Chains A and B, each alone.
Chain A
Amino acid sequence: MSKENQLKEIHASGKSYAIYKSINGFDLYTDFSKKITLNNKNVSGFLNKKRISKKPKKTDLFIGFFGYELLNNLIGIKVPKQKSMNFPKGIFYKPEKKISYSNNLVNYKIDKIRLKKKFKININRKSYTKIFDKFKKKIKSGETYQIKICTKYKLKSAIDPLDFFCRLSKTNLAPEAFMIRDKDYSIISCSPENLITKKGSLITTKPIAGTVRKNKRMNKTKALSYFRNNLKETKEHNMIVDMERSDMSRVCKVGTVKLSKEKAVEEYKDLFHYVSLIKGKIKKNIKNIDIIKAMMPGGSVIGCPKISTLNLLNNQEKENRNIYTGSFGYLKFNGDMKFNIIIRSILNYKNISEISVASGVVVDSNAKHEFSENFIKAKALIDLFK
């Protein structure tokens, strides 16, 4: 059977599976022999458990995600009681089968059902502006230097996740894209941002801060000068770079944390991102749980400094973030791992689809602009429902 048909068959069978973008294509993981639902109590045990395989296999790994609340709890930050749909705080799977694909994953189409209903936003522009002004004052008084207000779009709808993922990958082939299809939920994501890549004792993180739309007049060179000349984007980016350097310094050997790519432009199908790459060498006796606690939740989507900013956000937000600004990826039995930041994603749980987006408040940003930027970020995903 061709790989393409295999995927179609797995999908049609109702089996759970996950797909994660690889360098040259996609990896599909399925035939899950274990499913671990994480909570605040069992997460440390899950991360600390030593796993050894006698005969190394490509499937010697756990793949899944940490939700936002779980990551807060890991670093001792309380999230007050919020409106919640009781979606699991984190789930990891042990696959027994891995299939690698090229960038043409599958030609999969379904008859579209036109939805008449529209997405509902949880914060309207008026209340957004209110929160925005409140946070701006907090910047003035130094409690935070940069903070990202999250808005959430929701719609009651059943979706076919493979159809969504295929269409999304065609319009937006993101380097950290992934999907999960399980019985009662699915996630479709075109995340562009890698938070942790660890191989042996080497670790990298690749923060993104700064996005500009591609058009006829905006090429890569122009994008670079746009970012360089835009003081607001530059300052936001600088802040994230120093924060990620510091997070990595917690677990890396002195003198090894280096900025190996400083403020470069990366080109994607529809946009340009302003990115940096930071590398380091892990200290002796550092465990993966220490790395996760040092780096998660990923700072670039939260704000800075991380702890006081998380507290400000958690006291403001009335609704659980679920997967948003958590991390998806894998932990290998040999200790290697790769995790992204869950942004630009759809979570469909019990036939409710939710899309969360955020954009940054710094001292010179403006509420109207950031509110519409949030909408632009959500639009690519909302359009999939049309």
Chain B
Amino acid sequence: MIYVIDHKDSFTHNVVHQLSLFDEVECDNYNNVDKIKLNKAKVIVFSPGPGNPKNYPLTSKIYNQFKGKKKIIGICLGFQQILFCEGAQIVEQNKIYHGYQSNIKVNSKNSLFKKNQIFKVGRYHSLKLKEPFKIKDFEITMRCLESKVAMAFENNKDKIYGFQFHPESFLTINGNFLIKKILSS
């Protein structure tokens, strides 16, 4: 079972539907998380959401508790939440991407995806990862072709993955493929 922690976002149920193509999915609000479901889940997904990772200490707690024990996936805010828990800084960006379609490129040979492959993806984010960023076992694996902003990370040792873009958006081409690949890793 995949347990989606919802940060009261208006895109969360697109994520739920997409994940449901591959496994049973449960979804609850971040301030109403069910411990039994959490323990039962094979994969925990942090949903997109408004605001800043520092606004969601409950989600950080879940991350710290299950890091290395279960596969964890973060999308948009979820991506930032994981990196924030790992000590990264999440900052405002000059150019804001809401409802934007971008080309992103796989820039690492250690990625689950083929190096130099390009994806067309939908973006909804005000904030971004502040770089340089160096944390053990974490690697930025995709970047925006134009702005070079970090778009995905992988930690294949602990099975932790994050997308800054929205694989569930209608703006993302081959979103199901992206999700399937990290679910089956």
Q: How far apart sit A145 and B51, CA to CA, in the bound complex (Å)?
A: 10
Known: A249-B14, A305-B10. A259 touches B170 (CB 8 A): yes
B17 and A145 contact, CB distance less than 8 A: no
Tell me, rounded to whole Å, the shortest Cβ–Cβ distance linking B90 to chain A.
9
For B16, the chain A residues whose CB sits under 8 A away are: 249
Given contacts A245-B14, A250-B13, A305-B50, contact A139 B126 (CB under 8 A): yes
Contact A307 B8 (CB under 8 A): yes
Q: Are B9 and A305 in contact (CB under 8 A)?
A: yes
Q: For residue B170, which residues in chain A have a CB less than 8 angstroms away from its CB?
A: 238, 241-242, 245, 259, 262
Least Cβ–Cβ distance between B129 and chain A, in angstroms: 13
Instruction: Judge whether B52 is part of the interface by a CB distance below 8 angstroms.
Output: yes
| Contact A363/B10 with A142-B51, A143-B50 known, Cβ cut-off 8 Å | no
CB contacts (< 8 Å) of B99 on chain A: these are: 145, 234-239, 242
Chain B proximity of A206: nearest CB distance (Å) = 15
> What's the nearest-Cβ distance from chain A to residue B166, in Å?
7
Q: Is the CB of A308 within 8 A of B51?
A: yes
Render B24-52 as a binary contact track against A, CB cut-off 8 A, 1 for contact.
00000000000000000000000001111
- Binary CB contact string for chain A from 304 to 318 against chain B (1 if under 8 A, 0 otherwise): 111110000000000
CA distance A362 to B96 in the complex (A): 10
Cβ contacts under 8 Å, A237 to chain B: 99
The 8 A CB mask of B80-118 against A (1 = contact, 0 = none) is 000000000000100010111100000000000000000
In the complex, residue of chain A having the shortest beta-carbon distance to the beta carbon of B94 = A140
Most buried by A among B9, B13, B99, B122: B99
Residue of B10, B11, B170 most packed against chain A (CB within 10 A) = B10
| A140 CA to B93 CA, complexed, in Å | 8
Please tell me which one of the listed residues A235, A255, A305 contacts residue B49 in the complex, with CB atoms under 8 A apart.
A305
Q: Interface size of A by Cβ–Cβ distance < 8 Å?
A: 36
Q: Tell me, yes or no, whether B155 is within 8 Å of chain A by CB.
A: no
Q: Is A230 an interface residue (CB 8 A)?
A: no
Chain A residues, CB < 8 A from B13: 246-250
Residue of A nearest to B20 (CB): A254
- Complex Cα–Cα for A262 and B99 (A): 14
Selected from B10, B17, B100, the residue in CB contact (under 8 A) with A306 is B10
What is the CA–CA distance of A239 and B100 in the complex, to the nearest angstrom? 9
Q: Is the pair B96, A246 in contact by a Cβ cutoff of 8 Å?
A: no
Check B10 against A299 for contact (C-beta < 8 Å).
yes
A144 / chain B contacts, CB cutoff of 8 Å? 50
Please state if B98 and A146 are interface contacts (CB–CB under 8 Å): yes
- A243 vs B96: C-alpha distance when bound (angstroms): 18
- B1 CB–A CB distance under 8 Å: no
A145 touches B52 (CB 8 A): no
A141 close to chain B: CB less than 8 A: yes
Is the CB of B2 closer than 8 A to any CB of chain A? Answer: no
A257 to B166, CA, bound (A): 17
Residues of the B chain whose Cβ atoms lie less than 8 Å from the Cβ of A308: 8, 50-51
Give A55-88 as 1s and 0s: 1 = Cβ < 8 Å from B's Cβ atoms. Answer: 0000000000000000000000000000000000
Which residues of chain A are near B21, meaning CB under 8 Å?
A: 254-255
CA distance A139 to B99 in the complex (A): 13
A139 contacts which chain B residues (CB < 8 A)? Answer: 96, 98, 126
Flag if B17 contacts A142 (CB, 8 Å).
Answer: no
Q: Which residues of B contact A236 (CB under 8 A)?
A: 99
The answer to whether A246 touches B14, judged by C-beta atoms less than 8 angstroms apart, is yes
* Interchain residue pairs with CB less than 8 A apart (17): A141-B126, A142-B50, A144-B50, A145-B98, A237-B99, A242-B99, A242-B124, A246-B10, A246-B14, A248-B13, A249-B13, A255-B21, A259-B170, A262-B170, A305-B9, A305-B50, A307-B10
Which 10 pairs from chain A and chain B are nearest by CB?
A: A235-B99, A238-B99, A142-B126, A249-B13, A305-B10, A239-B99, A308-B50, A243-B10, A254-B20, A246-B13
Known contacts A237-B99, A308-B8; 17 additional CB pairs below 8 A are A142-B51, A142-B125, A142-B127, A235-B98, A239-B124, A242-B166, A247-B10, A248-B13, A254-B20, A255-B20, A305-B8, A305-B10, A305-B11, A305-B49, A308-B50, A308-B51, A363-B126
Task: Spell out B's residues near A (CB within 8 Å).
Answer: 8-14, 16-17, 20-21, 49-52, 77, 92, 96, 98-101, 122, 124-127, 166, 169-171
